[in-house]
Structure 1
Amino acid sequence: MTFNKSSLVGSLLLGLGLVWGQASAATAPVEWVTAAAADPYTVQPGPTNLMPQPQNPPAFAWPRYPVYPKPPGYILEVSSGGVVIGTYTTTRNFYLPSKAMTAAATGTTYSWRVRPNIAKVDWSTPRTFTLYPSAKVFEVPENDVLRARIIAHGRSRMLSKNFLPFSKWTSAMMAERGAAISALIREVTAGLTSPPAPAPQNLTAVPAVSDGMLLSSASTTPQVVALLPAKVNPVLRQLEASALLYRLMGDPKYLAEAIARGDQAAALDPSAITSYTSQDQVTRSIDVSLLRAVDMLWDNLDAARRTRWLAAITARTEAIYADLSGSDGRIDEQPFDSHGATAYGYLALIAAMTVGDVPAADKWFDFAVRPYVNSIFVWSGPEGGYFPGSAYAMYQATYSVQLWGPFKEATGVDLYQKPWSIGFGRMLMQFIPPGAAGLVFGDQHEVGFDYSALKSFAARTANAESAWYARTVTGSEDPIQLLTSEYPLPASAITPVVPPNAALFPTIGWVSMHSDITNTKRTSLYFKSSPYGSYNHAHGDQNALVLDSGGVRLLGEAGYEDYYYSPTVTAWYRTTRAHNAVTFDGGVGQLIGGRENLTRNGKITGFSTSAALDYAEGDATVSYGPAITSAVRKVWYLRTNNVYVVQDKITAPAAHKYEWNMHSTVPIVADGSSGAKIVNGTSSVCLTSLTPDTTLTSWTVPYPSRPKVVETHSAFIKNAAVQNTEFLVVLDVGCKRPVVTVTPGSNGRTLLVNGQSITLPN
């Protein structure tokens, strides 16, 4: 999903008279950065608001100066204590300094301002941030230094200089990687007898795609969507695997197989069905698989074949570059583009792997390498996270493992050590912990998963919590990724540290609360109120929760994605009613349609954690639009009792009949006069409504459940329409029937659960 609106926004701002220096005497001039950032899809200025920065040096960004023709560049000025410490020039609307800044023990406050380098334009309003010694130093050399590193590395650029053929492996390497090489030999051997892939002209054309799913008529099936990967990916897999085995084993049959498969891939027409415009994911895969094979077999390919393969890579990469550099580098101004953000990474890697050998590589390199390193945190703040959902976070981990290892080896820049990446890894372990019952939030939350990509990402992150995750999650790494990686893997030398049992990711608005993250039979509650709203792959699920216990899901999310933005998806799967959240008047919920879905958001307004008690508060008011004037959910976890208390307070200008929705894949049955009970295998939860004006009501929907799954839906429904209301629900995990009392007081109500107390606001 991409919006190219830079010139339109600038024209509107100028047309409305929002030009600095031209305001009337009675009106203060609108600062140009604030005016240009009025569109929420535009890059926002940062860092700001005295926020402590996790990365040193921080990345600076601002919206473009909204005039045409554009200014030739910008001047950035950074100060501390009233003294200018640095003045930088850049041709684009971001800047990543190459050297760390001073961070005093008590913190150092900085301010920054920027202006276009054209005459008679004022500086922007100074914005502030703070650096503490705890900020992780992440320095990225300038491009000339990176180029020199790459050329000095020699071929292969993706394989470590310490890469060893199998005959020279140590016993320790055999213990870690012996199973992987055996698996790869079996895989390639089986492929040697498989028929060749269909010729390019025999690949059936398919409609254009967006976000990997079709946007065509209902008669188009997901099988058509899968056509291209199913035809092409086995060839690419065999190509990479054979090339790697030749480097490891030296057997000429693997070289012959790699050459045959490489010739097939290079023969695919980059302007036909496998083009970037037809299916960007497939063309990226062809591009990088050929690239990896060329790199591993550089000295084993004759000059004509190497030239032919590099020409195929160049043609496909030029299409990626044309897209990302289009509209004057559209992602610089409009960064919220899921496919574009991923394509940036592919372009950066290809540039790094071909600079010095492909004439266009210098152009790609200057355009993509430093911007990609700078912009990875587009889906969260710089502390890490991934708002579209844990399924797409899992996919991002897969892309990262494919791209970041070769990029690190070629450039010396370890993206796994970027603070965003460390925080992203922490998010993965909090929301897909060992033994997780499933994924949460956003599109494809219903899909199955394994831990191989997550294990790979954690194993390459030299961080204590990542070391714990890499050792704890089950499964094996993909053999190709493991065997091309450095030895030993970075996390293997780190002493593991167990992550906390509760965590907040503020810029994506996600909270986790676990009984014991080390126990695969734990109880886990996941809560979301996101500043990104329902944009991209996110849903209208602000202030929603998901509950797991004993390795199974008790309160889940309903529906499934048949294809991206299908009628069923927009009418049911993405709606608030399909989540464990509050709706009104028979399922009316948060606003999820139209271009404003990024602004129909939520936010976490409170969080605390201790050994006995966790607390989170979310405000989803804005997401409901004008029909609701306040929608606040508070969640307490009384860990010693394994009980959650959920309070919702809603106000509206008109009377509504409200619903507290719940969903499961097992029956939701009445439990007394004011409760519900869910039993899934040996795990259970009893939900008790402590407000007397609700009735448990089951309901059905005219949309199918995902295949082979029966979903049930119920709600605590208010008995009468009111303007202001409260839900107060106790989630007793294990149905242990604790003693629960609520006592009013002058400063609120005291709720006791087996003697453990929390204070509820009136």
Structure 2
Amino acid sequence: MRTQVQNPPTFAWPRHSTNPASYVLEIRSGTTVVKTFTAFRNWYLPALALQNGTYTWRVRPSTLTDWSSDRTFVIGTESLKFEVPEDDVLVQRIQARARPRGLQAGLPLYKDWPAEMRAERGTYMTRMINGTLNAVTTLADVSDAQWPLVTGKLQTAENAAQNASIRNAISAITRQMEQAGLLYRLTGETRYLTEAIRRGDNLASLSPTGPTSYENQDQATRAISLSLMKTVDMLAGALDSTRRARWVENVRVRGNAIYGALALSKGDMDQYPLDSHSGTNIGFLALTATLAIGEFAEAKTWFNFSYRAYVSSLSPWSGPEGGFANGTAYGEYTIDLSLVIWQPLAQATGVNLLDKPWTKGFLNFFMQMMPPGSKNHLFGDAHETAPDMRYMKALALRFKTPEAAWYARNLPGIEDPLSYLQGPYPMPANTVATPTPPANAVLFPSIGWAAFHSNMADANRTSVYFKSSPYGSFNHSHGDQNSFVLKKGGIPLITESGYYDWYDSPNWNNWYRQTKAHNAVTYDGGIGQYITGWREPRKYNGSITSYGDYGNTYFVAGNAAPAFGGALTQNTRRVWYMRNTDTVVVHDTLAANVPRTYEWNFHTLAPIVANTNGTTQVTYQGKTVCLRSLTSGTRFEKRSGGLVKAGTMEEHGTYVRTTAATKAEFVVLLDVGCKNTPYSITETASGRTLTVGRDVLALPR
């Protein structure tokens, strides 16, 4: 029985083998049927909130009489109301709104901005004006002839390079067009109208079946179709009818390609939602449809297919409490793409996705996993890259909470002007009088991530991150269940290794995603977890089994045995962080049906030095940590690694069990700052106790 974060929740179930035309969903309170709905896909989002209480729900194909088993849920005072009207109500609301539908109504022209408005956003306006005018002469037009390869879905280095070239070029052109369109709307100056038209004509000249087609580069087609429609919306009556018709037709053709792919087989995404591109594309289609309703008949079809599906589950990469299982780098990219969609969608529909409980949790995820000062990302593809905190700042600015205000004010730089100037006025976080840092520890149970901090308010904080995820190594995730990362002041001391050259490259498959490239246990010379890449990852995964916040001591435990595909029968990791002594203890218990030689791997961006006192020391950018194996029968070794990006150094260490066995354990003490913190292990009747400074930990056998 679980209290729902959102009221009403989205109900979802596996597609029935008969693939029926519709389902019957029944919600009961006790024996009383409260609601009955007809669902045409294998999920349903009611339009109205439920009263507080305990409910059961069940579902069946409309063609059968056999129900699923009952499932229980709770709506309580902590369940946040988030209501989405029915589609026909939304369509009427959208059509009744004058263009530009996607912009906040009632804002004055730039020349008439009052002093307080200029104080908040005048800098953004100046930057956007300067950037747009500069690009008029420096940003070249594009043509299909620039990209000769027919890439399709084939992954090679050459195709990856062309796809990146297309993505970057189209992103620059669409951005320039939207900036010019917005500046025309904010100033009324014809030079911006002229520039928006030039860029729109360039994009409309690209073949929808050429290198920027959905089949060849889906990111390009979604960007072109949405940006053309956004600019049509922003320019409103300023476009001549012939040009407008040509642009809108391009939107229609490209949008049909997106819709056709997403709607295939009644929407394969309903059954297999963990598709990172399609999950974003459905949001692009929802906004394109919203802005295009009334322009052509297909727009309403797209809207009915995509809008509710998108808002009911903004991301399949976590449960309703927020988070992003595919890693913080791809979460950062998701912020950028989401604000492109969420802000105009809120203006056009009246439904603000920033009010959705998941979005609030998404911000909390970044506050905890990417606190101010973070030098690199966490877990998954692009973990080695430096975060662009402008995107986290942008998300935080749109929440009126003390924690969001603290986060936004402690992040460097300013947000992208194009995003900011389409945001609400005044910006919500700017209205908070007293910022407050978030909690020092958090668990995101649905993605299997935890974070511990010595003091979130301290820029020199120690941070410990742990992952044991039910999402496994799917898509942009890695075989890193039961792994951890240690940072000091945002600087990575014990970190993940390798670099992301391109998706599905030999380096990506053979080192970067492998368990041996992470701070986790392997066996018999680096054999790690099974790596999956397509469809559902539920077989080779991890899970959080315990979590505790005890004030000055934080604890998390994970089980990664399923990730090894039967090679290990036990892989339990327990991690304690003690704030009193600024130390970490990692305890692994391992078992297999045949003798194995186990390795406790860790990776650094600086030399690993073996000290005479038995510790291994890492010093990087003025921060240090000393590691000590507290288990007999282990030896320290340095290992070779994978490809390293130019200009970067890595070292790879491991504590190795000296003999093969069916059972083994590791106990490793990490002393941040190399303070030589005293420790002792005592045998007890029920097990052992490990004393570190004044903290006493129970070590199970």
TM class by smaller structure: over 0.9
- Residue 147 of structure 2: aligned partner: 204
Partner residue of 1:122 out of 48, 54, 66: 66
Greater Cα offset, 483-492 or 324-333: 483-492
Preserved CA contact (<8 Å) 1:532 1:599: no
Judge conservation of contact 1:545–1:581 (CA < 8 Å) in 2.
yes
Match 1:510 to one of 436, 441, 449: 449
For residue 724 of structure 1, the aligned residue among 663, 683, 687 is 663
Look up the match of 1:56.
7
Q: How many angstroms does 1:140 deviate by?
A: 0.6
1:697 matched to 2:637: yes
Q: Counterpart of 1:297 in 2: which secondary structure?
A: helix
Equivalent-residue separation in structure 1 for 2:509 and 2:380 (angstroms): 12
Candidates 485, 495, 509, aligned match of 2:423: 485
- Give me the whole-angstrom Cα distance separating, in 1, the residues matched to 2:637 and 2:517: 15
Residue identity opposite 2:10 in structure 1 = A
Q: Segments of 4+ in structure 1 off by > 4 A?
A: 593-597
In structure 2, which of residues 19, 28, 37 is the aligned counterpart of residue 79 of structure 1?
28
Aligned to 1:15: none
Work out the CA distance in 1 between the residues paired with 2:139 and 2:352. 40
Is 1:379 matched with 2:330? no
Tell me the TM-score normalized by structure 1: 0.90
Match of 1:535 in 2: 474
Q: CA separation in 1, counterparts of 2:360 and 2:687?
A: 40
Matched, 1:396 2:334: yes
Q: Give 1:350 deviation, angstroms.
A: 0.8
Whole-Å separation in 2 of the counterparts to 1:585 and 1:523: 33
Cα distance change on mapping 1:234 and 1:528 into 2, 3 Å: same
Distance in 1 (CA, whole Å) between partners of 2:306 and 2:532 is 32
Q: CA deviation at 1:123?
A: 1.4
Following TM superposition, by how much is the alpha carbon of 1:209 offset from its aligned partner in structure 2, in angstroms?
5.7
Structure 1 residue 66, shift from structure 2 partner: 0.8
Cα distance change, pair 277–594 in 1 and its aligned pair in 2 (3 A): closer
Task: Name the aligned partner's letter for residue 668 of structure 1.
Answer: I
Indicate how the Cα distance of structure 1 residues 209 and 395 shifts in structure 2: closer, same or farther if over 3 A, else same. Answer: farther
User: Does structure 2 retain, via aligned residues, the 8 Å contact 1:400–1:457?
Assistant: no
Alignment partner, residue 620 of structure 2: 680
1:659 maps to 2:599: yes
Range with greater deviation from structure 2 (501-510 or 478-487): 478-487
Deviation at 1:492, TM superposition (A): 2.8
Structure 1: which amino acid aligns with 2:148? Answer: A
Shift of 1:673: 5.5
Q: What SS does structure 2 have at the residue aligned with 1:226? A: helix
Q: Kindly provide the CA deviation profile for residues 597-656 of structure 1, in whole angstroms up to 9, marking residues without a partner as x.
A: 541000000101132100000010101122110000000111111101110000111111
Matched residues in 2 for 1:199 and 1:387: separation? 37
2:282 alignment counterpart: 344
1:473-499 Cα offsets, whole Å, 9 max, x none, are 222110111112220123333454421
SS at match of 1:607: strand
The correspondence of residues 612-631 of structure 1 with structure 2, limited to 5 A, is 612-631=552-571
Which letter does structure 1 place at the counterpart of 2:475? N
User: In the TM superposition, what is the alpha-carbon distance from 1:593 to its structure 2 partner?
Assistant: 4.2
Listed as ranges, the matches of 1:365-444 within 5 Å are: 365-444=303-382
Q: Is 2:43 the partner of 1:94? A: yes
The secondary structure found in structure 2 opposite 1:730 is strand
Give the residue type in structure 1 aligned to 2:15. Answer: R
Mapped to 1, the partners of 2:532 and 2:38 lie a distance apart of 40
Which piece of structure 1 moves more, 514-523 or 77-86? 514-523
Paired amino acid for 2:11 = F
What CA deviation, in whole Å up to 9, does each residue of 1:492-529 have, x standing for no partner?
33454421111000010000011111222211111000
Q: Which residue of 1 aligns with 2:496?
A: 557
Question: Where in structure 2 are the equivalents of 1:742-757 lying within 5 Å?
Answer: 742-757=681-696
- Render the CA deviation track for 1:166-208: whole Å, top value 9, x for unaligned: 01212121111111111111111112223641333x2222343
Counterpart Cα distance in 1 of 2:621 and 2:382: 24
Kept after mapping to 1: 8 A contact 2:396/2:404:
yes
> Using a 3 Å threshold, how does the CA distance of structure 1 residues 92 and 463 change in structure 2: closer, same or farther?
farther
**Contact conserved, 1:591 with 1:597, CA < 8 A, in 2?**
no
Question: What pairs up with 1:206-245 in 2 under 5 angstroms?
Answer: 206-208=149-151, 215-216=155-156, 220=158, 223-245=161-183
> How much has 1:456 moved relative to structure 2?
1.0
1:113 correspondence with 2:58? yes
Matched, 1:576 2:520: no
The CA distance in 2 between the partners of 1:484 and 1:726, in whole Å, is 55
Cα separation, partners in 2 of 1:148 and 1:567, compared to 1, 3 Å: same
Q: Secondary structure at the match of 1:626?
A: coil
Match of 1:378, SS state, is coil
Letter in 2 for 1:236: T
Segments of structure 1 that go 5 or more residues without pairing to the other structure are 1-49
Asked if the contact 2:151–2:159 (Cα under 8 Å) also holds between the matched residues in 1, the reply is: no
For 2:112, the equivalent position in structure 1 comes to 168
Aligned partner of residue 260 in structure 1, secondary structure: helix
TM-score by length of 2: 0.97
User: How far off its partner does 1:743 sit?
Assistant: 0.9
Question: Offset of 1:334 from its aligned partner?
Answer: 1.5
Hey, what's the Cα distance between the residues in 1 that align with 2:443 and 2:571?
A: 20
- Corresponding residue pairs, total: 699
Decide whether the 8 Å contact of 2:486 with 2:495 is kept in 1.
yes
* Deviation of 1:222 (Å): 5.0
Q: Please, which of 112, 123, 128 is the counterpart of residue 179 of structure 1?
A: 123
Alignment match, 2:203: 265
Distance across 2 between alignment mates of 1:136 and 1:590: 38
Q: Tell me the residue number matched to 1:499.
A: 438
Deviation of 1:257 (Å)? 1.1
Residues in 2 aligned to 1:376 and 1:483: alpha-carbon distance in whole angstroms = 23
Q: Quote the Cα distance in structure 1 between the aligned partners of 2:689 and 2:610.
A: 27
Distance 2:278 2:298 in 1: 20
Give the structure 1 partner of residue 575 of structure 2: 635
1:671 shift after superposition: 2.2
Amino acid at match of 2:681: V
Cα distance in 1 between the residues matched to 2:354 and 2:226: 20
Residues 1:335 and 1:198: Cα distance change in structure 2 (over 3 Å): closer
Distance between the aligned counterparts of 1:415 and 1:230, measured in 2?
Answer: 27
The offset of 1:428, in angstroms, is: 1.0
Q: Where does structure 2 lack aligned partners over 5 or more consecutive residues?
A: none
**Aligned-residue offset at 1:147:** 1.4
**Residue 675 of structure 1 contacts residue 696 of structure 1 at CA under 8 Å; is this kept in 2?**
no
Q: Are the aligned partners of 2:390 and 2:414 in contact in 1 as well (CA < 8 Å)? A: yes
* Partner SS state of residue 492, structure 2: strand
Q: Is residue 388 of structure 2 the alignment partner of residue 445 of structure 1?
A: no
Residues 562-609 of structure 1 show CA distances to partners (whole Å, capped at 9, x for unaligned) of 111111111111000000001111101111146675410000001011
Q: Does 309-318 or 484-493 show the bigger shift?
A: 484-493
Contact 1:674/1:695 (8 A) holds in 2: no
Structure 2 residue aligned with 1:468, among 402, 406, 412? 406
Residue matched to 1:741: 680
The 1-side partners of 2:348 and 2:519 are apart by 47
Task: State the alpha-carbon separation in 2 of the partners of residues 519 and 209 from structure 1.
Answer: 49
Query: In the alignment, is the contact (CA less than 8 A) between 2:374 and 2:489 conserved in 1?
Result: no
Change (3 A) 1:152 1:597: closer
For residues 586 and 139 of structure 2, the distance between their equivalents in structure 1, rounded to whole angstroms, comes to: 58
C-alpha change, 1:492 and 1:153, in structure 2 (3 Å) is: farther
Say if 2:230 and 2:288, in contact at 8 Å, map to a contact too. no
Give, in whole Å, the separation in 2 of the partners of 1:429 and 1:195. 36
